[in-house]
Amino acid sequence: MPESQIAGIPVHFPFEPYPVQRAYMEKVIQCLRDGTNGVLESPTGTGKTLSLLCSSLAWIRTRQSEQQHQMVKMEKGDLPGLGGAAGADLSELAKTMARANNWGVPKVIYASRTHSQLTQAMRELKRTAYSNMRSVVLGSRDQLCIHPEVMKEQGNSNKTNMCKLRVHSKTCSFQARVESRKDHPDLRGPTIMDIEDLVKVGQRLKICPYFASRELVAQADITFMPYNYLLDPKARKANKIELGNTIVILDEAHNIEKICEESASVQIKSSDVAMAIEDVTHVMKVFASGESQDMGADEPKDFTLDDLTLLKEMLLELEKAIDAVVVENVGEGTTFPASMMYELLGKANFTYGNVATIVSLLDKLVQYLLVASQQMSIRKGGTFTMLSDLLTIVFANKEDVMTKVHASFKVHVQVEETKQQGQGKQQGVNKQGWLSKGTIASANSSSKMAKIINFWCFNPGFGMEQLLNTQVRSVILTSGTLAPLKPLIAELAIPVAQHLENPHIVDQSQVYVKIIGTGPDRQQLISNYTNRDNPKYISSLGQTILNVSRIVPDGLLVFFPSYPMLNKCVDAWQASGLWADISAKKPIFLEPRSKDQFTSTMEEFYQAIRDSKGAVFMAVCRGKVSEGLDFADRNGRAVIITGLPYPPLKDPKVILKRRYLEANRTRENQLLSGQEWYNLDATRAVNQAIGRVIRHRNDYGAILLCDSRFKDASQVQQLSKWIRGHLGDRPQCSPFGPIVRELRQFFKNAEANMKQPDERESEPALETVCKTEDEPLAAIPKIKREPGSNATFKAANERAIKVEMANSIKTWSPADYASAAGQKLGGSAPNAMDFMSRLDSNVSSIDFNCCMDSKSGSSGLVKIHKRERSSPTPPETSSQVAKKRYKLVENIKMEPISSQVKEAPESRADFLRELRSLVNQDEFRRFGKALLEYKSGTDESFQALMTVLWEVLAAPKMRYMLVGMRKYLKNEHKGEFDQRLAKL
């Protein structure tokens, strides 16, 4: 790989670095060399991650070489002052100490928000000259555990506790083998292993990937991990992460303030305390009755009945203290100073002096209940875990920093919504006995409302200060959307020596940026609070997306301010028919919330792009799609931002954050005002969503800001620097008509002038076609070698025959012909190796029976048989290719090739698109209206929906769509639906 001298360090880069990459790497190396901190912004697509890894590891490798050279000198006795036996002993001691401390060279910790982002970074590292450096990734037990019993547990907390229990009791064979196999070449080999690779190696070696990865940390040059492992003191301690003399890189750090705040915040509910009291009571009953011997065998317990009695007394006092808190504003809650949390816990005798002992007891109770839950129906100690987290986080703040705690934290108390059932039972419980249960107070009781106690941190610098106090060498914060940098640095309260705002790597001709203030119908596009429910606005926004989808090739991303706004638009467009119009041009995918659905939806989206259909992906700013996902080249040719994603204005946390900034803002610390922070939070989310499109030097795309507020100077100044360059000094909203023309011309020029990505292969390679393991190919006739032909010709000829035979069609019908010719609605054009191209091979018959007239029942049709050729090549005596001959024969009954019943499409978008193609416009509107009413209605709306379904979909040819409707019904209605369906 090319080598470049950057800041005095030889850096091997996969190609000659661009100026922006060189400037970025120079700043990184300066931070590492001087032991200082940096805040570096480089737009998405500029090779930020690659530059970051190459520069940091180049510096590490250079330092390692220097230290090892120093040790060689020491061995030879070249260093002054060392000689004789004493010098040799000192040299050996120095070598041993140097190896133990990685030759004194700092290690790199690379942290990002999600494991998918870490996987992308590790993939980049594999491309570099530093792929042979030692690396490891840390993950949770939920991701890495391979023990079948532990994996059965629901939730990461239960898996963690079950794992701890099995390790403590030495009943996990996978963990037991780690010590003996930790030096196995498969584990310590030169390859870089991500989470999936670790799991595969663990399964192959029968060792625990979770504990094996921890064994690799000590020797690793670079360790990959999620943010919370670093910033959460509890997680840092649990994972035994040592930060002394390390280089901490926080990539995708645009959310770092929120993560710092959340890692120092915690919540406890009245119901949590009440359930904890119930769990303690249950354990006490078991102890009192002697049943514990049956559940826990003869092992001595780690706690006594006196410990449980004391804990229950403290929990009852805590419940009483929470009940006594007065919530003046029941709707929005009441805010108290941070000291109130310490006073509340103090009333229950939770103090700095005893908190460590109590947390230890709670952890032991969790382990005990995990064992007990195997024998009887009992909770697994989740409430004890919540209580332990509360005490750990609250008392992590040492007494000597309480002044800062009072300024940075607030306690917000809200009313907890409780279930109505079971309240009558709770009221009659005698609370005085030692074996009595805690009371889950009724929400409608004025004296004892169930409450939520929130302990919120509003100073991200509080968490960052704890990180800096661990004696790290350097902290580098980097992202594509950090600007403006000054307020970020001020909030984190971190000393920064190096900062950078890079321009983009692409030129003006590769990006088209416009603010669209009105739709095609001249309706103003503004997604503010007063206009977002306006049907005319929602319709105009849909028309805008429809028109853009007709112009933009391949992938189109549409980002909404929130999930409620996304759902509102989808419902309205489905009812009006706009949804069907858009999906007729491109299939539509919606961002799902569940992890499993998200993966499958993304795969379907990418597949639609590969199939040359194009696709629209509708997602939400701050969602998974807008954070770190790659939509390079055809996957994302344009992004539409439908509005500014402001945080909820009346959310208590938002209100308190704004108050905190106003109260602590001074001219010296340069903190933002509350309103500036509120605006910036929305714009940063927009910047992040915009970054999904331009992903590398040769990429191109359009950015359409469909909200007239984007033209305001205050909003423009907070957009990324490279975006501002495209909008100009005084950006204005452009009329829709000219934008359509300019957008069409932009893509026309880009496709003509820009380097296009490598085209996908239309068919598998020849080796793939020929080497089928499951089904043997038909016998290949031997080919006589022509005089003068050579082995190369023979091999090519035989391979061509294999392909022909592998793709041969023995029989076909006119319906197949119509389908392959693209005559079905929504069908894709055939490719070179598709049905139409293969008709020239060994077709033996054409089946016209599918054309039978259903009314007359006539079946006296015929088939056309084609003579099979004995050999794909003409005989030697033939001077010309024989003509194909067909003969008409009587109708012969043929076995159907497949009896597969047609099924409705799985995704909602595909279902609606297919339904739209089957029914007329009035029927589709009736269906959409009935479905919307059913979604938020009662049993009457269900009956109305059933009436519409049976009128529209009961015909035999649409019965499969009727069956497919079942998954969209509520569970309580599926039984009646099945009964009615059975009667058809």
Detail the residues annotated as belonging to a binding site.
Answer: 145, 163, 172, 208
**CA 972 to chain centroid:** 32
Q: Which residues contact 925 (CB under 8 A, 6 or more apart)?
A: 575, 576, 577
Please choose, from the candidates 657, 688, 859, the residue with its C-alpha nearest in 3D space to the C-alpha of residue 254: 688
**One-letter amino acid of 808:** S
Rounded Cα distance between 492 and 671, Å, is 10
Rounded Cα distance between 470 and 463, Å, is 12
**One-letter amino acid of 552:** V
DSSP-derived letter for residue 401 is G
**One-letter amino acid of 775:** E
Rounded Cα distance between 520 and 112, Å, is 41
Q: How many CA atoms lie within 13 A of 895 on its CB side?
A: 2
Rounded Cα distance between 410 and 458, Å, is 8
- H or E segment to which residue 210 belongs: helix 209-217
Q: Around Cβ 628, how many Cβ atoms within 10 Å?
A: 20
CB 847 within 8 A of CB 811: yes
Q: Around Cβ 34, how many Cβ atoms within 10 Å?
A: 13
For 628, list phi and psi in degrees, rounded to 5: 85, -5
Task: Using CA atoms of 526, 530, 536, 537 in order, give the dihedral in degrees to the nearest 10.
Answer: 20
Supply 909's token pair. Answer: 């978008």
- H or E segment to which residue 570 belongs: helix 563-576
In this structure, the chain runs to a length of: 984
Rounded Cα distance between 632 and 729, Å, is 29
What's the chain's Rg over C-alpha atoms?
34
Rounded Cα distance between 489 and 784, Å, is 79
Rounded Cα distance between 470 and 492, Å, is 16
Rounded Cα distance between 243 and 107, Å, is 9
Residue with tokens 């010296």: 668
Rounded Cα distance between 72 and 453, Å, is 61
Supply 446's token pair. Answer: 């004025």
Rounded Cα distance between 676 and 666, Å, is 14
Rounded Cα distance between 335 and 945, Å, is 47
For the chain, give the longest Cα–Cα distance. 112
Burial of 209 (0-12, 13-18, 19+ CB in 10 A): buried
Rounded Cα distance between 656 and 463, Å, is 18
Q: Which residues contact 144 (CB under 8 A, 6 or more apart)?
A: 195, 198, 199, 202, 208, 209, 210, 213
**One-letter amino acid of 686:** V
The DSSP code sequence of 237-285 is HHTT---TTEEEEE-SGGGHHHHHHHHT-EEEEHHHHHHHHHHHHHHHH
Supply 703's token pair. Answer: 């950015």
Rounded Cα distance between 689 and 621, Å, is 6
Label the pairing between strands 638-641 and 701-705. Answer: parallel
To 5 degrees, how large is the angle CA 87–CA 93–CA 94? 85
Residues in binding site for [4Fe-4S] cluster: 145, 163, 172, 208
To 5 degrees, how large is the angle CA 155–CA 158–CA 162? 140
